[in-house]
């Protein structure tokens, strides 16, 4: 009797938590996003497609749309090429220093894209870019060979910061693939290249497609790179055009209408990419079959080994070492444009941003506070949702899964517009220009990280562990405290850090939401850059890079411990 | 179809010698097993025959053609072999038809001939009608048959099978053993079969190559490796055995007598010496006796006397552990002779083999 009573009570608490979670996600995510869609079809209080007609009839509106498609397509092509080649070299050849190369190739993934863009403007801006100056000095011309402020410039930087998506998925597939699938093809009579074409490539295609999708979604959703590189040469994409509209009509709602229409378009483009990749994947009726032996076929590069390593070294130098060095060196310059000589370097910029300049001090304080609150809130909320989705059999738990995952595939710009629509008096609550609207947006956008991370940890806990605890006499709550929480602790710490780091340097969302007193580090770096205070923005950017690297190191450590202790 | 010859083949991975001076001569149409515990070098030897690993030293001939030596190395695709892996390795992105047709396609066989040969081979393995299926729609046993068909379809010099049945359940495994034998009978192809399962090797093969720690321990048919093992490893690996330390006292050709060591009274046993002809009286070694070669009798009739300490009913036999002078002897006996625990029994030894240590 006591048992049934306890079960009943537990189920009703579960239902209560479940309903609460659904409510929070609907208010936080579903309603704001629905508002974007709704408003895009509103003209003067009536339903109409007028906004869309306006979008597609003015060049300044449809051009950004086509630019977004063009940028997305070109970036996907370049990132995929780079990603596949690097993945193959690391996973399937006897190239030396594999472990080191692997770590290095993932560095671009950690660097905030807008900081990468700043670095590349320092290197390749006509006239003053370090690389341009170097070439002009060597060849004695006054004509700069490169101009970063172009479509190709945006694609170049975008590809360099997005190829890790393809690299990670393809490397994983190449390493997991059962080597006997290729060996049996060799024995059947296929030469090395024939095997690659007939067996290896078709089998990693799903991984390539998933990687391409991630690149596409991140590229079209990115604000920082096209804002820093493209706006100067009047190349606008959807994200920057939406930003312009919101800037142009600050206070009024004139621009908001068109911004919502462009946002919907952006959302649909991302959705189309998602649908297309799902369709391609669904036509492949197989997944990579993991082999039992962990000895993938290794191609001996022979006499090509060191030439290839040399090419990689140059690639790494140009794409990683040079931009990072440029940002760091610039951050020590007493003034922008001075030659890099010891007498021109000092710590003055750092002293200024940390102790002298109220704007950056406020930004640092805000960002830390926001990142901390967002990380705590998402981890808490994400854990509850993850537990319901993974460990209970409640009806409708899939809805939670969907709602928590949704904002991740929706561009940050759209999330920002959605928050403005929902929280500027629409429901009697006006959070505009406050700390809270940024926090709510962060929680909505980054919940996914916490949810996925904790879900993964929970899935690793075999039900028998909980059952054993219950049989030993533990109540549900006791079991939760003594068994579940200790086992997912590494997952919780990891999810905290995985939200903390990107929110600490967030730009895309906060650039729409900051008020005079609520600026963030990302926005500060961006504004300082736009105002031409390059060495100050470089100092702030360097600070961010150092913090991000430290954070990534911590995540690596935590997740390593995690795989050891949970099972 | 053809023969396979290995001469002084050595394979080193770094400092580890995986295969040490292996010599094997496999005749056209033979079915040969490489048998041994995991890590004994059997799979590495097979992979060297396939060309998937390159020997450190030695020569390999396929159909009298040198395919591997110090200076010569024919890549796997030019060796005309068929291979079946433990996990089948059916390409998941191709239908059954395309999987089996692939080796023919690579050999530029005309389309109509491909169709004929594929359907013939699929019929041979009992998979006719499955042409359009994808591997994910097949059971383990069916995938295994497709793998066999793919290895057979271009009439290879030899078919190499790497533990092909170890992923199947016990019943299916036994069934597939006989199917492979049937297939071999129909095609008369040379088959090399790697396994760690002694009964599989004994059922299937004309010749068993027993390997341990990279070296060949014995080559022989099932009867000889079972009854006349070359050494203690072979005797222990194949079937159950009692090993008792002894000293050779008498020897005439292949027959002799030993006196058991470590017993309280002197016990003398007759034995055979199939692999120790050069042993001389006075030499110490072990005498090896299969449990089924011991008969339990009343104490006064036995050449040895002991007490039953444990027993287990296994259906067709009863297994007894009989203690003699502190040593346990394993005895398999007819279930009709049911002795109680702690009964004193006599042991009659039907067959014993002397092995040098």
Q: Read off the pLDDT of residues B85-133 as tens digits, 9 standing for 90 and up.
A: 888 888 888 899 999 999 999 999 999 999 999 999 999 899 999 999 9
Handedness of CA A337, A340, A344, A346 (dihedral sign): positive
Query: What's the CA gap between A444 and A439, in Å, rounded?
Result: 9
Torsional class of A323: left (φ above 0), alpha (ψ -120 to 50), beta (otherwise): alpha
Residues 6+ apart with CB under 8 A from A325: none
Model confidence at A294, pLDDT cuts 50, 70, 90, reads: low
Provide, rounded to the nearest whole percent, the portion of chain A with pLDDT above 70. 93
Lowest model confidence (mean pLDDT) among A335-339, A461-465, B21-25 = A335-339
Say which residue, A290 or A262, is predicted with more confidence: A262
Average pLDDT over residues A245-267: 79
Average pLDDT over residues A249-265: 77
Contact residues of A toward B, CB < 8 A: 178, 180-181, 183-191, 194, 198-199, 202-203, 284-287, 289, 291-292
Q: Which of B93, B107, B134 is closest, CB to CB, to A189?
A: B107
Q: What is the pLDDT of residues A223-251, one digit of tens each?
A: 999 999 998 889 999 999 999 888 876 55
Average pLDDT over residues A344-370: 89
Query: What's the CA gap between A366 and A362, in Å, rounded?
Result: 6
What value does the mean pLDDT of chain B take? Answer: 90
Q: What is the pLDDT of residues B283-331, one digit of tens each?
A: 888 888 999 999 998 888 888 889 999 999 888 889 999 998 888 899 9
Residues of A in contact with B136 (CB under 8 A): 285-286
Residues of B in contact with A283 (CB under 8 A): none
Residues 6+ apart with CB under 8 A from B133: B95, B96
Residue A178: per-residue pLDDT? 84
With CA atoms as reference, the chain B residue closest to A283 would be B93
Average pLDDT over residues B75-87: 90
Q: Which of B50, B107, B134 is closest, CB to CB, to A187?
A: B50
Residue A564: per-residue pLDDT? 36
Shortest CA distance to A331 belongs to which of A129, A119, A475, A163? Answer: A119
Q: Exposure of A4 by Cβ count < 10 A (0-12 exposed, 13-18 middle, 19+ buried)?
A: exposed
Provide, rounded to the nearest whole percent, the portion of chain B with pLDDT above 70. 99
Residue A565: per-residue pLDDT? 35
Contact residues of B toward A, CB < 8 A: 50-52, 75-83, 85-87, 89, 91-93, 102-103, 106-107, 134-136, 147, 150, 154, 160
Alpha helix (H) residue ranges in A300-434: 305-316, 322-332, 348-351, 358-391, 397-409, 412-422
Q: Which residue is it, tokens 């490169």?
A: A146
Residue A65: per-residue pLDDT? 93
Which DSSP category does B227 fall into? H
Lowest model confidence (mean pLDDT) among A291-300, A381-390, B236-245, B279-288 = A291-300
Average pLDDT over residues B259-269: 81
Provide the shortest C-alpha distance from residue A168 to chain B (in Å): 22
Say which residue, A496 or A44, is predicted with more confidence: A496
Cα atoms found within 13 Å of the Cα of residue A310, Cβ hemisphere only: 5
Residue A524: per-residue pLDDT? 94
What value does the mean pLDDT of chain A take? Answer: 86
Interchain contact, B93 vs A190, CB within 8 Å: no
Say which residue, A328 or A559, is predicted with more confidence: A328
pLDDT over 90 (residue A470):
no
Interchain contact, B77 vs A190, CB within 8 Å: yes
**3-state SS, residue A560:** helix
Shortest CA distance to A266 belongs to which of A287, A238, A241? Answer: A238
Residue A562: per-residue pLDDT? 42
Q: What is the pLDDT of residues A279-289, one digit of tens each?
A: 888 776 565 55
Residues 6+ apart with CB under 8 A from A152: none
Residues of B in contact with A293 (CB under 8 A): none
User: Angle of helix A31-40 relative to helix A412-422, nearest 10 degrees?
Assistant: 90
Average pLDDT over residues A177-204: 90
pLDDT over 70 (residue A567):
no
User: Which among B50, B53, B85 is the top mutation candidate for probing chain A, defined by the most A β-carbons within 10 Å of its own β-carbon?
Assistant: B85
Model confidence at A6, pLDDT cuts 50, 70, 90, reads: low
User: Which among B47, B53, B76 is the top mutation candidate for probing chain A, defined by the most A β-carbons within 10 Å of its own β-carbon?
Assistant: B76
Q: Let me know how long chain A is.
A: 567
Spell out the SS3 assignment of A415-460.
HHHHHHHHCECCCCCECCCCHHHHHHHHHHHHHHHHHHHHHHHHHC
Judge whether A261 and A48 are in contact, CB under 8 Å. Answer: no
Residues of B in contact with A186 (CB under 8 A): 51-52, 75-77
pLDDT over 80 (residue B276):
no
Lowest model confidence (mean pLDDT) among A66-80, A334-348, B324-338 = A334-348
Query: What's the CA gap between A435 and A441, in Å, rounded?
Result: 10
Interchain contact, B51 vs A187, CB within 8 Å: yes
Residues of A in contact with B51 (CB under 8 A): 186-187
Which DSSP category does A44 fall into? T
Average pLDDT over residues B13-28: 93
**CA A238 from centroid of its chain's CA atoms:** 18
Residue A3: per-residue pLDDT? 53
Q: Let me know how long chain B is.
A: 357
User: DSSP per residue over A211-279, as a string?
Assistant: HHHHHHHHHHH--HHIIIIIGGGT---HHHHHHHHHHHTTTSSHHHHHHHHHHHHHHHHHHHHHHHHHH
What contacts 24+ positions apart, CB below 8 Å, involve A315-323? A316/A104, A319/A108, A319/A160, A320/A104, A320/A107, A320/A108, A322/A123, A322/A130, A322/A131, A323/A116, A323/A119, A323/A120, A323/A122, A323/A123
Torsional class of B129: left (φ above 0), alpha (ψ -120 to 50), beta (otherwise): left
Query: What's the CA gap between B29 and B2, in Å, rounded?
Result: 7
Query: What's the CA gap between A468 and A450, in Å, rounded?
Result: 27
Residues of B in contact with A285 (CB under 8 A): 92, 134, 136
Beta carbon pairs, A and B, within 8 Å: 79
Average pLDDT over residues A264-282: 87
């Amino acid at each position: 009797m006591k048992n049934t009573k306890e079960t009943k009570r537990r189920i009703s608490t579960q239902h209560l938590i479940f309903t609460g979670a659904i409510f929070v996600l609907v208010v936080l995510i579903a309603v704001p996003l629905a508002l974007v869609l709704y408003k895009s079809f509103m003209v003067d209080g009536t339903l109409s497609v007028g906004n869309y007609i306006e979008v597609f009839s003015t060049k300044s509106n449809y051009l950004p749309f086509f630019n977004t498609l063009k940028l997305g397509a070109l970036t996907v092509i370049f990132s995929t090429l780079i990603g596949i080649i690097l993945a193959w070299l690391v996973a399937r050849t006897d190239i030396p220093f594999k472990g080191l190369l692997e770590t290095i190739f993932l560095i671009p993934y950690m660097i905030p894209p807008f900081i990468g863009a700043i670095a590349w403007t320092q290197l390749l801006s006509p006239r003053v870019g370090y690389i341009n100056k170097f070439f002009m000095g060597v060849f004695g011309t006054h004509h700069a060979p490169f101009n970063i402020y172009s479509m190709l410039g945006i694609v170049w930087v975008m590809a360099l910061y997005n190829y890790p998506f393809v690299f990670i998925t393809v490397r994983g597939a190449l390493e997991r693939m059962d080597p006997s699938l290729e060996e049996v093809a060799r024995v059947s009579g296929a030469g090395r290249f024939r095997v690659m074409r007939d067996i290896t490539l078709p089998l990693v295609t799903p991984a390539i497609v998933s990687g391409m999708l991630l690149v596409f979604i991140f590229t079209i959703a990115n604000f920082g790179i096209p804002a820093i590189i493209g706006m100067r040469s009047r190349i606008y994409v959807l994200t920057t055009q939406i930003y312009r509209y919101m800037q142009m009509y600050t206070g009024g709602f004139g621009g908001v209408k068109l911004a919502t229409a462009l946002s919907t378009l952006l959302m649909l483009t991302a959705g189309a990419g998602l649908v297309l990749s799902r369709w391609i994947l669904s036509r492949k009726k197989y997944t990579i079959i993991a082999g039992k032996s962990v000895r993938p076929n290794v191609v001996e590069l022979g006499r090509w080994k060191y030439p290839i390593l040399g090419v990689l070294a140059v690639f790494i130098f140009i794409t990683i070492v040079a931009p990072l060095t440029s940002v760091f060196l610039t951050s020590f310059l007493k003034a922008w444009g001075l030659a890099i000589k010891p007498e021109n370097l000092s710590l003055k910029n750092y002293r200024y941003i940390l102790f002298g300049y109220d704007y950056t001090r406020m930004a640092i304080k805000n960002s830390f506070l926001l990142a901390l609150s967002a990380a705590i809130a998402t981890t808490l909320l994400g854990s509850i949702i993850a537990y319901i989705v993974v460990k209970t059999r409640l009806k409708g738990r899939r809805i939670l899964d969907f709602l928590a995952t949704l904002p991740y595939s929706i561009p940050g710009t759209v999330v920002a517009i959605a928050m403005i629509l929902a929280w500027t008096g629409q429901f009697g609550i006006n959070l505009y220009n406050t700390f809270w609207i940024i926090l709510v947006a962060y929680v909505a956008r980054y919940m996914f990280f916490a949810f996925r991370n904790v879900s993964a940890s929970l899935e690793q806990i075999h039900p028998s562990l909980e059952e054993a605890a219950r049989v030993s006499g533990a109540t549900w709550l006791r079991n939760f405290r003594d068994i579940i929480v200790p086992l997912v602790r590494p997952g919780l710490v990891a999810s905290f850090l995985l939200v903390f780091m990107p929110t600490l340097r967030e730009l895309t969302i906060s650039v729409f939401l900051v008020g005079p007193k609520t600026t963030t580090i990302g926005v500060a770096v961006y504004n300082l850059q736009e105002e031409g205070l390059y060495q100050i923005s470089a100092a702030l950017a360097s600070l961010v890079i150092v913090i991000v690297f430290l954070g990534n190191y911590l995540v690596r450590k935590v997740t390593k411990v995690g795989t050891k202790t949970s099972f | 179809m053809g023969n396979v010859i290995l001469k002084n083949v050595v394979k080193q991975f770094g400092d580890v010698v995986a295969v040490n001076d292996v010599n094997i001569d496999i005749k056209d149409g033979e079915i040969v097993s490489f048998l041994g515990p995991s890590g004994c070098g059997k799979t590495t030897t097979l992979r060297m025959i396939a060309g998937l690993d390159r020997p450190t030293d030695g020569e390999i001939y396929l159909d009298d053609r040198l395919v591997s030596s110090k200076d010569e190395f024919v890549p796997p695709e030019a060796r005309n072999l068929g291979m079946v892996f433990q996990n089948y390795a059916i390409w998941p992105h191709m239908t059954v038809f395309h999987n089996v047709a692939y080796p023919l396609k690579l050999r530029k066989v005309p389309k109509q001939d491909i169709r004929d040969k594929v359907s013939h081979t699929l019929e041979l393995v009992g998979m006719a009608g499955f042409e359009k299926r994808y591997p994910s729609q097949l059971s383990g046993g069916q995938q295994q048959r497709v793998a066999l068909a793919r290895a057979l379809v271009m009439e290879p010099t030899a078919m190499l099978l790497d533990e092909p049945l170890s992923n199947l359940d016990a019943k299916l495994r036994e069934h597939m053993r006989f199917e492979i034998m049937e297939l071999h009978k129909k095609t008369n192809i040379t088959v090399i079969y790697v396994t760690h399962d002694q009964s599989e090797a004994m059922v299937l093969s004309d010749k068993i190559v027993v390997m341990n720690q990279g070296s060949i321990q014995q080559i022989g048919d099932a009867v000889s490796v079972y009854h006349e093992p070359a050494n203690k490893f072979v005797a222990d690996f194949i079937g159950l055995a009692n090993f008792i330390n002894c000293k050779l006292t008498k020897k005439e050709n292949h027959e002799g007598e030993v006196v058991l060591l470590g017993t309280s009274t002197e016990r003398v046993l007759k034995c055979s010496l199939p692999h120790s002809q050069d042993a001389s009286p006075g030499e110490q070694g072990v005498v090896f006796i299969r449990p089924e070669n011991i008969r339990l009798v009343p104490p006064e009739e036995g050449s040895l006397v002991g007490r039953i300490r444990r027993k287990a009913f296994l259906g067709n036999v009863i297994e007894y552990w009989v203690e003699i002078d502190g040593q346990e002897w394993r005895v398999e006996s007819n279930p009709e002779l049911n002795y109680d625990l702690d009964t004193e029994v006599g042991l009659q030894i039907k067959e014993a083999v002397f092995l040098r240590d």
